[in-house]
């Protein structure tokens, strides 16, 4: 009598179909990332705008502090330190 062999594992066709599906998905993702550069440029512009706003707020705060006559700025080695209140 012959023994019937049990087939274990995946077939070659299932493996090929899985690889094709993964390649299609990878192509879609790469295409979406490379063709839509506007999203990356907008994000970079927003980051730059936030940095500019931070600098403006810091400058306005510094001007407000230095406009007060009780505030002095010490300079050591040609570098000015953060303003502090006159004691």
CB proximity list for 62: less than 8 A, separation 6 or greater: 83
pLDDT at 73: 58
Report the pLDDT value the prediction gives residue 80, as an integer from 0 to 100: 55
Instruction: Please say whether the beta carbons of 50 and 56 come within 8 A.
Output: no
pLDDT digits (tens, 9 = 90+) for 4-48: 666 677 788 899 999 999 999 999 888 877 776 677 788 889 999
Higher pLDDT, 65 or 76: 65
Is a pLDDT exceeding 60 seen at residue 85?
no
User: Region 51-64: what's the mean pLDDT?
Assistant: 88
Supply 26's token pair. Answer: 């990878």
What number of residues does the chain have? 87
Q: What is the model's pLDDT at position 11?
A: 86
């Amino acid at each position: 009598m012959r023994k019937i062999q049990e087939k274990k594992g995946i077939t070659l066709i299932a493996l090929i179909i899985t690889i094709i599906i993964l390649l299609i998905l990878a192509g879609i993702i790469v295409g979406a990332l490379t063709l839509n550069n506007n999203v990356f440029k907008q994000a970079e512009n927003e980051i730059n705008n936030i940095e500019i706003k931070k600098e403006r707020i810091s400058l306005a705060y510094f001007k407000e502090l230095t406009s007060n006559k009780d505030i002095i700025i010490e300079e050591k080695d040609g570098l000015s330190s953060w303003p502090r209140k006159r004691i």
